[in-house]
Chains A and B, each alone.
Chain A
Amino acid sequence: MALGLAALANACDYRRGALDPISPEALTIDILWWVFFWTSLFVLTGVLIALAFALYRGHARGKSSDTRAELTPDAALERRTERAVLAASALSVVILVALLVGSVFGGRALFRTPQAPLHAKVIAHQWWWEIQYQGKTDSDSVATANELHLPAGVPVDLELHAADVIHSLWLPNLHGKRDLIPGHTSHLVLRPTRPGRYDGHCAEFCGLQHARMELSVTVEPPEVFSRWLTEQRRPAAAPAAPDARRGAELFARGPCALCHNVVGSEASASAGPDLTHVASRPFLAAGALPNSPLNLRNWLSDPQAFKPGAQMPPTGLRADELDDLVAYLETLR
């Protein structure tokens, strides 16, 4: 019963990745995939029928006659057999050439992309994603982490960089993978059509926390997206509540500010994710935990327990300090 319920709960939230395309590119791949799938099923069925027939015929003959080896089989029969093999081989050549042509044209369609009005920069780090939307001026620019917001129906040009080792950006509902290689800059143009929340993941093994290097993609109507962008441009306000104020103090004085940036405060380092709007994000630590005040507190008390190997060191904060810090970070929406 419990298992059944669990399975049901699973089914509701089950993601179908590449088989649930929401962009023309992913749709092209999806169609190509099903063409290959049905062709393969046809070939497999043919081979299995031939194999079953061969075993049946051979076995029947093996039982009925003596088992001495037959060195010179009947010539006419041999010719017919060889012709059958030749026909099967010729058919597989035809099928393969057809698939090849389909694949090449599919590939062309994939990279025939229009001019994109929106640009964003994705920088992969061990083990998180840095995302920058460039504006006309520096103050217009937005930096966020592990979440990518995209306007539906508007092509977006992603400029991809790797800060340390090779990573690979994989948003299965939107496009195929693209590696991020140190010393190489590459581009990926996305054209999402259907609003919703989708998952992304690093696909190239990049070290200890490769498993916890997720990226949440939110596709939303263009007007919602612009509202989000405006919201993200807003610097953090000084907190009003006393505990949050103590937390802000702690953040600026303590080790946090050595790595993190909060626009509108004194903290302006760039080694770790920008935290200006951390409380509005769906996840903590690139998918290690869902974002909630309790999870944030747990994370801050011992990051290595949730993401062993992550660059964030143990904080060594007291319980009351943790409370203050969480209160402050929760104001960063």
Chain B
Amino acid sequence: MTTAIDALPHDDSGSRTAELRAELAFTWRLARGLRGWFSETSHVVIARRMIVTAFVFFALGGVQALLMRIQLMRPDNHFMGPDRYDQLFTTHGSTMMFLFAVPVMQAMGVYLVPLMIGTRSVAFPRLNAYAYYTYCFGGLLLYVSLFTNTGPDTGWFAYVPLSSSQFAPGKRVDVWSQLITFTELSALSTAANLIVTILKLRAPGMALSRMPLFVWAQLVTSFMVVFAMPSVMLASMYLAMDRLVGTHFFNSAVGGDPLLWQHLFWFFGHPEVYIIFLPALGMVSSIVVTFSRRPIVGYLPMVLSLVTTAFLGFGLWVHHMFATGLPQIGQSFFTAASMMIAIPSGVQIFCWIATLARGKLVLKTPLWWVVGFVVIFVIGGLSGVMVASVPIDLQVHDTFFVVAHLHYVLIGGAVFPLLGGIHYWFPKFSGRLLSERLGRWSFAFTFIGFNLTFFPMHILGLHGMPRRIYTYRAATGFGSLNFLATLGAFVLGVGVLLVLVNVVSAAYGGQPAGDDPWQSDTLEWSVSSPPPPYVYACLPCVFGRYALWQPGPRAVVEDMDPRQRQVLVTSALDAAPDHVYMLPSHSMWPFLAALATFITIVVLLFTPWAVPLGGVLGAICLCGWFWPRPPHEPLLAEQP
């Protein structure tokens, strides 16, 4: 069923191709109108919405950070009181972790993975839409509660007993724990979706050993989500039950234990960092390969590093709890694990630097963001080795040193590559080029502003400034470095704003990008920009790791029925064609199911009777969702 043809899959020459495209465009047409907006399930559309939504939350989280920096600008400041400040830092942390970083990384995966592996959609388009709406509703809940002054105020980690009903009456903590429920649902759905998509829908010939590193990173991350999320789900459920129906999981007075919360939370909380960080590494690999114009140095070590990081990532949660006084032998184990996770990260850094050194560099904006990433991330990694050491951690834990460290690894390790990725893939998303000049300026502002903001915090922490304080006395002498940090925060803000200006102005007036502005190696650059809803007119076949750099004629899959939404299922290891799979059309039910979830969870804030209510609503939605479609002829694939 595969034949070699000379034409590229997207080549419009020839009436046969044009006819095929017309049929596919009709089969995969987007839903129209207001109703259509809510029933669309195209992965490109949903992922685009999710990326935009995540960046809206990023902006909101950024504004909260600036407000906090204004408050801390000078000692004994009266810009805001402790109640407002506590709500802001809790919402800032929760937003950046749950509503920005994880969703945006998954959204980039949902958009790019099907394109990169040469298929037309994610495996479960309706589940994908459901994941988006659940995430959206979760964010809505948090922000409605923040703007009505009932935002959660016990930190993004919500330690018990501070978050128990005795010390945190009202609905604030409940809002937080339900936000967790929404993001868990969304992240787990997307992770399952990506795993199946990556393992079963790869283009024929794209064996695991030929998969782009970005796809590897998404695969490993998705598995991490599947193993990490249940832990926090359990924890937040216990918390909700303690608060709502009077159980005593965390109440030490009657045999519960507050430390149980910390174990469950950090068993999720630490892998969460890698869930954010690994997809970013995939983006770095994509950018480095493209702009070095050569294969990556050490593909196998790179893949093994990703996998090793994922395994080790689950073995170091206790380094958040060194000050609780756990047995020493256990602490040494977690110190060792925390330090050893620097090895796979180091190996990847060395491989990228070697690739750059042996490449023919094209110094475009995306590559500058990668350079910034390497510098900042190495500093963050080294301060990470410091906090892995029990004695040093006992001093710097819960101080501004850790604030500095976590922003070096999360902004340096994830946001810089992400912004590099946005600059890299924006032409594919929109069909237009970003301004190189504005891109370099935004990078310079962000890089300088970032270091001005966060480097002084290392010193503040060592000198004794604890985290999460809304003010400090003048006599502490913390004023000058805090002033510097606030100044830096605004420079950083200008940098991010310039990125936004660049994106908006390019979206409306940028130069047309063409299909492949960077002469890249991966398959997404072989379709038009932006990709049509059916993505590939003919599914491509793959003969090497760097699909578009392979010399010789391209091959495509033929004989798939353009009148049905078909994708090709291939084997997990070698991507040998197996059978044709029919995807469902657009549907309103994922949105309605997400709405039912939202109603259930909001009612759950007030009464446990939400559980049966949710059961009924859920059953109705699932019936609608899975209602049998009109029968169609199953098309069995011929043997290849």
- A residues contacting B by CB (< 8 A) are 7, 10-11, 13-19, 26, 28-29, 32-33, 36-37, 40, 43-44, 47-48, 50-51, 53-55, 57-59, 61-62, 65, 67-71, 73, 77-78, 81-82, 84-85, 88-89, 92-93, 96, 99-100, 102-104, 106-108, 110-111, 126, 164-166, 168, 170, 172, 175-179, 181-184, 186, 199, 201-211, 287, 308-309
Contacts and interface: CB of A to CB of B under 8 A. Distances in A.
B371 A36 contact: no
A299 to B, nearest CB: 15
A62 B464 contact: no
A93 B297 contact: no
Contacts of B378: 43-44, 47-48
Among B331, B466, B469, B546, max chain A CB count under 10 A is at: B466
Nearest to A72: B295
B395 A308 contact: no
Given A36-B385, A73-B295, A13 B477 contact: yes
B282 to A, nearest CB: 19
A205 B550 CA distance: 56
B389 A210 contact: no
Interface in B321-378: 323-325, 328, 331-332, 335-336, 339-340, 342-343, 346-347, 349-351, 353-354, 356-363, 371, 374-375, 378
A36 B167 contact: no
Interface string B227-259: 000000000000000000000000011000111
Contacts of B467: 203, 205
A228 B490 CA distance: 50
B324 to A, nearest CB: 5
B462 A19 contact: yes
B293 A70 contact: yes
Interface string B249-284: 000110001110000000000000000000000000
A11 B167 CA distance: 39
Given A57-B357, A89-B346, A177-B398, A71 B549 contact: yes
Interface of B: 81-83, 86, 154-155, 159, 161-162, 167, 252-253, 257-259, 292-295, 297-298, 301, 323-325, 328, 331-332, 335-336, 339-340, 342-343, 346-347, 349-351, 353-354, 356-363, 371, 374-375, 378-379, 382-383, 385-386, 388-399, 462-464, 466-473, 475-477, 479-480, 519, 521, 544, 546, 549-551
Majority DSSP secondary structure for residues of B touching A: helix
18 contacts: A7-B480, A18-B462, A40-B386, A48-B375, A50-B350, A53-B357, A54-B353, A55-B361, A58-B360, A67-B293, A78-B297, A85-B301, A88-B346, A89-B343, A165-B162, A210-B468, A211-B470, A211-B472
Contact of A81 (B86, B358, B462): B358
B432 to A, nearest CB: 22
Given A182-B258, A210-B469, A103 B162 contact: no
A29 B395 contact: yes
A33 B159 contact: no
A54 B167 contact: no
B389 A103 contact: yes
A89 B344 CA distance: 9
Contacts of A102: 389
Nearest to A20: B463
A183 B349 contact: no
B525 to A, nearest CB: 12
Ordered nearest first, which 9 A-B pairs have the shortest CB separation?
A176-B394, A183-B252, A17-B464, A58-B361, A211-B469, A54-B357, A103-B389, A14-B477, A40-B382
A18 B357 contact: no
Contact of A33 (B298, B331, B395): B395
A81 B161 contact: no
Contacts of B383: 40
A202 B294 CA distance: 53
Among A69, A179, A209, max chain B CB count under 10 A is at: A69
A65 B360 CA distance: 8
Contact of B354 (A18, A84, A100): A84
B520 to A, nearest CB: 9
A65 B358 CA distance: 13
Contact of A96 (B323, B343, B356, B359): B343
Contacts of B551: 71
A172 B323 CA distance: 13
B466 A106 contact: no
A181 B326 CA distance: 12
A179 B335 CA distance: 19
A110 B362 CA distance: 52
Contacts of A108: 328
B346 to A, nearest CB: 5
A104 B141 CA distance: 45
Among B297, B346, B379, B521, max chain A CB count under 10 A is at: B346
A89 B259 contact: no
A189 to B, nearest CB: 13
B297 A85 contact: yes
B292 A58 contact: yes
